[in-house]
Amino acid sequence: MEHIPQELLQSFRPPAFQHSYFLSFEGIEGSGKTTQIRRTKEFLEDHNFRVLILREPGGTTFGEHLRQAVLSNQTQLHPLAEAYLFAASRAQLLHEVVMKELSVPNTVVICDRYLDSTLVYQGKARNLGHRLVLEIHQHFPLNLVPHMTFFLEVSLTTSKDRQNVRNNPKDYFEGQGDAFYRKLIEGYHEVRDLFPERIRTLDGELVPDEVFAKIQEHLTVLLKTNDAKDK
Ligand SMILES: Nc1ncnc2c1ncn2[C@@H]1O[C@H](COP(=O)(O)OP(=O)(O)O)[C@@H](O)[C@H]1O
Ligand SMILES: [Mg+2]
């Protein structure tokens, strides 16, 4: 794997707000992100958090315009164009929404895909390299990463089976072949090794209740650790 300087990796840190948390969910299509985000939201709301779910590109007026442009685009964009489009939308989302919301205590912002998706899709599958993608993101506010990221790991077969059940029209990224998906899976493994402290891997093949039980364990530790720091 390519060499990534430690200083570059260390420029990424979670936002420093007390009693507010930034989370993301990662994994290929059909890995169960939407399902588990819904449960996580209910769990956190039961614990008196205000929960916001965001998706990229989007979440701001500018981001929604970009989303339409990217997802409806019929020609393949250059990977750098993709990476910068997502980064542009992300910078605006952090500035307009994430920072403001997290400054309110007891808020949790959940991103359905975030930086790791850009690393995996543009960095790995489209060959830009992780280093270049990280360099694009190394300055504030793009260097803000979640306190915890849940990576739902499923096989290509499971991903396909679940997508077939869902039967939505395929979007810009979903209409790709097996080789592309294998690269995504490999990319997620590489990204997990770059950020071992932030990323929690979950077996997405388990039934939803079992997957969520693990998430709940991790969340409980995260919330407790931060409570202890305050004392
Ligand atoms: N752990 C699971 N076991 C079996 N089916 C699941 C599981 N998690 C999600 N599903 C189903 O798989 C499909 C895709 O799940 P979804 O949460 O939308 O995944 P994603 O958001 O990652 O694409 C949905 O039909 C969902 O009900
Ligand atoms: Mg989803």
Distance 7 CA to ligand 2 centre (A): 33
Right CATH number for 6-230 from 1.10.510.10, 3.40.605.10, 3.90.1300.10, 3.40.50.300? 3.40.50.300
Phi, psi of 107 (to 5 degrees): -115, 140
The neighbourhood of ligand 2, an ion, using CB within 5 A, equals 33-34
Regarding pTM above 0.75, the answer is yes
CB atoms within 10 A of CB 148: 19
Whether the pLDDT of residue 116 is over 90: the answer is: yes
pLDDT at 14: 96
Give me the residue spans of the domains in the chain.
Answer: 6-230
Cβ < 6 A, ligand 1 pocket: 27, 29-35, 162, 165-166, 206-208, 211
In contact, 136 and 142? CB cutoff 8 Å: yes
Closest CA to 21 of 137, 107, 143, 79: 107
Q: What is the DSSP-derived secondary structure letter of residue 142?
A: T
Closest CA to 184 of 127, 129, 132, 124: 124
15-66 pLDDT per residue, tens: 999 899 999 999 999 999 999 999 999 999 999 999 999 988 888 999 999 9
